[in-house]
Structure 1
């Protein structure tokens, strides 16, 4: 990317409140007597309220990076600051607390509890730790926000894939996190429902001011974001400041 564009982008971010600051992240794993380098010094910042895509093909290190910034894995080196809190060296108990308070997760396979209703699924994170207000009232409010106020008592098996992903997004927002991270959120959906989910995320960002980070292998999905960070062979290959489509 042109150095002028990159410097302008960084200047824009520093004038806003940084919600995620990834500093020289490395990740390596043992392989026999050697080590495989999966991430090789990843650096970027995300400002509060941004909609950012992390793009990369299978084997690029994208999934490993996502696990680290979501607090699901520890890096070998570097720092990950979420809302000013470094999560890179936390133990599992500490990470669980941070995930509950500061990070909302949305998965490709929805990961809803099949025996619970839509409302109960959204309530689940609110029974861990301390959160203000009534869990049931919060769940109803969020399901209305994602257009599912008429599906409160339905279980996942009674919902379409698109509806299940809407429930998952509502659940991710339940604890009022600093950032919502979505791993291939349209991967199990057809084109129409996938487009609907991406539009919903964009609308929620506008309504709530939340920061959204989507990991995807699809440049067409990434094109919905404000900008994209492209990962290739464990390194940042391209930062698309315009939010336009990234070419492979």
Structure 2
């Protein structure tokens, strides 16, 4: 494999840790008749470069709403989200789209691959938005090799297993060399074996690339693979867990 990825991305041990995301006093309310329902209540925490963070909580806890806000897909009612020092809650939609393309890679539970495109073409798609160095096809081949799919370059999603589709989705999330990779229930549509393989892949990629990974999950077993958990209950942070794999309700 070409050494471009290793040259562009330092390993976690070599990279100097810094704050890549600073979430400050986030609230989110939604109207319900004449009332307003509080979905998120004064959420604040920081994420350091190279961390593998799990946002954990049961259905309805607010974790998906929080994930959408930190991914720049939704706005908080009050509060700020800084990505690499830039307050993304105050950006125009055009500038926010640029930040998402350059700094954030997204992985979804349902994979969200384009069914008519090959694995390689799906990974290339983000590279045709904005300006990115190098050849999209070369970058896509490198990343698919990194996730163990060099033999599936020309297969379409319908020809791949669920685990393979999620690997393609992870490669696509890495395509633009983002600072953060955000995954919403990345193992939700996978069986236990494939889910475990995807989580191991995320851990391995974090070690190899130094990227910051943030996953949202309702499953404590999935969260136990992360370095640290942010546990959300009823829209508040119930626990900031700094111990590997210890999450209780």
Please state which band the TM-score falls in when normalised by the shorter chain.
over 0.9
Residue in 1 aligned with 2:128?
A: 127
Residue in 2 aligned with 1:28?
A: 29
Taking the aligned partners of 1:156 and 1:16, their CA distance within structure 2 comes to 36
Residue in 2 aligned with 1:11?
A: none
Please give the residue correspondences for 1:190-201 in structure 2 after superposition, counting only pairs within 5 Å. 190-201=191-202
Question: Post-superposition shift, 1:106?
Answer: 0.1
Question: For 1:153-191, what per-residue CA distance to the aligned partner results, in whole angstroms no more than 9, with x for missing partners?
Answer: 000000000000000000000000010000000000000
Q: What TM-score do you get using the length of structure 1 for normalisation?
A: 0.93
Question: For 1:102-159, what per-residue CA distance to the aligned partner results, in whole angstroms no more than 9, with x for missing partners?
Answer: 0000000000000000000000000000000000000000000000000000000000
Equivalent position SS for 1:246? coil
Equivalent position SS for 1:54? strand
Q: Which runs of 5+ in 1 are unaligned?
A: 1-14
Please give the residue correspondences for 1:59-208 in structure 2 after superposition, counting only pairs within 5 Å. 59-208=60-209
Q: What TM-score do you get using the length of structure 2 for normalisation?
A: 0.92
Taking the aligned partners of 2:90 and 2:184, their CA distance within structure 1 comes to 23
Question: Post-superposition shift, 1:34?
Answer: 1.8
Taking the aligned partners of 2:167 and 2:241, their CA distance within structure 1 comes to 28
Mean Cα deviation higher: 202-211 or 89-98? 89-98
Q: Give yes or no for contact 2:140–2:175 (8 Å, CA) kept in 1.
A: yes
Q: Which runs of 5+ in 2 are unaligned?
A: 1-15
Mean Cα deviation higher: 113-122 or 91-100? 91-100
Q: Give yes or no for contact 1:74–1:89 (8 Å, CA) kept in 2.
A: no
Residue in 2 aligned with 1:247?
A: 248
How many residues end up aligned between the 2 structures? 234
Taking the aligned partners of 2:222 and 2:48, their CA distance within structure 1 comes to 20
CA-based RMSD of the aligned residues comes to 0.9
Q: Give yes or no for contact 2:17–2:50 (8 Å, CA) kept in 1.
A: no
Question: Post-superposition shift, 1:64?
Answer: 0.4
Question: For 1:183-209, what per-residue CA distance to the aligned partner results, in whole angstroms no more than 9, with x for missing partners?
Answer: 000000000000000000000000000
Residue in 1 aligned with 2:11?
A: none
- Which ranges of 4 or more aligned residues in structure 1 deviate by more than 3 Å? none
Taking the aligned partners of 2:102 and 2:41, their CA distance within structure 1 comes to 29
Question: For 1:20-44, what per-residue CA distance to the aligned partner results, in whole angstroms no more than 9, with x for missing partners?
Answer: 1000001011122221111110000
Residue in 2 aligned with 1:12?
A: none
Residue in 1 aligned with 2:234?
A: 233
Q: Give yes or no for contact 1:79–1:87 (8 Å, CA) kept in 2.
A: yes
Q: Give yes or no for contact 1:180–1:211 (8 Å, CA) kept in 2.
A: yes
